[in-house]
Amino acid sequence: MTPLDPDQTRARTWFEHLRDLICAEFVAIEREAGSDAGFDLTPWDRTEPSGAPGGGGVRGVMKGTVFEKVGVNVSTVGGSFEGEFAKSIHGAGEDPQFFATGISLVAHMANPRVPAVHMNCRFLVTTKRWFGGGADLNPPLPIAEDTDDFHATLKAACDAHAVGDYPRFSKWAEDYFWLPHRHVHRGVGGIFFDHLEGDFDATFAFTQDVGRAFLDVYPRIVRRRMNDTFTPEDEAAMLAWRGRYAEFNLVYDRGTLFGLKTGGNIDAILMSLPPRATWA
């Protein structure tokens, strides 16, 4: 992989820093619940089909009392897209060379009244340079207070930036996180954005604030619900809902496809799958 330029280095450094902040907050929640759970961090290296080094990342997974399974991954990879896949990536149809760095997070919770969540942010370079990402809330048992809090916090982050178009990004998430074969949404939405080009400082600042907004709102929701009582019927509903989540990530999710097509770490790519799920 070629040496990183200053923008690539800044993006990679931020995503790694955000990972550290999020992991520390999630471990703090486990401590509040009387758990000694922590993240198992596993570095991995990527090799290009030619045999050349292609970057790598760190897979982080914690299984605890509050977080039944949470994965927080960071990666920085580069090289060349193979074959027809290059044509599906913004700016890579003309030249298959690429660079990508980012953070990806999925949390599946032990208490069905605590919503699961997904967040990712990334910086890609082909013949174009852009940020993408977002966050969406996935409660098995939706609670309006939590949904409203999540959306309001993300809206505030968007409204603070000229490039942060909350109505567009919220609708984008609504459309993207949809299971056509089930005719249902994966969750209660959030924001999703991609191909955010233009001034690096402006788009980077917005992407950073999306991460900070997530770090603000999600732990607050977890602490609000983690001691709620629940019934066996609630848990059964959660396990069935997790099946839908798995279906989306395996059939439709672009991040899963990107990781598989670029030779990423399989365990890191599939860390989004729930530890338990049911199908009728």
Domain ranges of the chain: 6-272
**pLDDT above 90 for 67:** yes
Q: For 8-48, what is each residue's pLDDT tens digit?
A: 999 999 999 999 999 999 999 999 999 999 999 999 999 98
Which one, of 14, 59, 19, 21, lies nearest residue 40 by Cα?
59
Token reading at 47 = 């090799």
DSSP state of 83: G
The pLDDT assigned to 86 comes to 85
Strand partners of residue 104 = 73, 120
Residues near 95 by Cβ (< 8 Å), separated by ≥ 6?
A: 126, 127
**pLDDT above 80 for 1:** no
The pLDDT assigned to 136 comes to 98
Token reading at 103 = 């953070």
Q: What is the mean pLDDT of the chain?
A: 95
Which one, of 138, 2, 14, lies nearest residue 79 by Cα?
2
Q: For 186-216, what is each residue's pLDDT tens digit?
A: 999 999 999 999 999 999 999 999 999 999 9
Three-state SS sequence of 56-69: EEEEEEECCCCEEE
| CA–CA separation, 56 and 275 (whole Å) | 25
**pLDDT above 90 for 65:** yes
The pLDDT assigned to 58 comes to 97
Q: What is the CATH number of domain 6-272?
A: 3.40.1500.10
Q: Phi-psi region for residue 231, left (φ > 0), alpha (ψ -120 to 50) or beta?
A: beta
Intra-chain end-to-end CA distance of the chain, in Å:
46
Catalytic residue positions? 118
Judge whether 150 and 190 are in contact, CB under 8 Å: yes
Please count the other Cβ atoms lying within 10 Å of the Cβ belonging to residue 159: 11
The pLDDT assigned to 145 comes to 98
Please count the other Cβ atoms lying within 10 Å of the Cβ belonging to residue 211: 24
Token reading at 11 = 């993006």
Q: What is the mean pLDDT of residues 45-57?
A: 91
Better pLDDT: 41 or 254: 41
The pLDDT assigned to 163 comes to 98
The pLDDT assigned to 128 comes to 95
Confidence of residue 83 (pLDDT cuts 50, 70, 90): confident
The pLDDT assigned to 203 comes to 98
The pLDDT assigned to 17 comes to 98
| CA–CA separation, 73 and 71 (whole Å) | 6
If you search the block for the tokens 């599939």, which residue do you land on?
A: 270
The pLDDT assigned to 31 comes to 98
pLDDT-wise least confident of 125-134, 175-184, 251-260: 251-260
| CA–CA separation, 95 and 93 (whole Å) | 6
Please give the angle made by the CA atoms of 92, 93 and 97, to the nearest 5 degrees.
35
Find the radius of gyration of the CA atoms of the chain. Answer: 18
Exposure string (b/e) for 220-256, b if CB count within 10 Å is 16 or more?
A: ebbeebbeeebeeeeeebbeebbebbbbbbeebbebb
162, amino acid identity: A
